[in-house]
Amino acid sequence: MVPMVKEAKRSPKTTLKKRPQYLNAAKGVYLPRTPFVMQRSPKTETETAGVGYTVTKKVGNAVLRNRIRRRLREAIRLINPELFQPYHNYVLVGRKEAARIDFGTLCAELETALKKLARGDGRPARAASQNGLRQKPRPSGQK
């Protein structure tokens, strides 16, 4: 007799892999918190929510950046997947405080940020020049 294998639940979130996905999230709303900044993209074509992680070199050396990234990834894995809105991508920009803060507090901050974004709290994206995104130069004579 062959043992029955339960069908694995499909995770409601995927990992962002491509640069345009991160740039698209930067165009949406963002919510700054002490240990991270959460960005949410406008609607995407896939139903599953995507999550990306980034930590800049300003935060510290590679060991610290990787530790922050691992902590954020594990916190996202543990929180309720229903908090993620379908058809949206999320990017977490890690800050130094994410390495120092208690892990339970980090999970609570993530849940709070997701709930606030779902309610519509959050700041609109900054202008392209402030995001570090380059604008195409206009040909002379055009406004």
Bridge partners of residue 30, in order along the sequence: 39, 123
Place of tokens 């979130």: 13
Mean pLDDT of the chain: 83
3-state SS, residue 87: coil
Q: What is the pLDDT of residue 7?
A: 41
Q: What is the pLDDT of residues 2-16, one digit of tens each?
A: 444 444 344 567 888
* Interaxial angle between packed helices 62-78 and 103-119, expressed in degrees from 0 to 180 and rounded to the nearest 10: 60
Q: What is the pLDDT of residue 41?
A: 87
Chain centroid to CA 135: how far? 23
What's this model's pTM, rounded to 2 decimal places?
Answer: 0.76
Q: What is the pLDDT of residues 122-136, one digit of tens each?
A: 888 776 545 555 555
Cβ 15 vs Cβ 83: under 8 Å: no
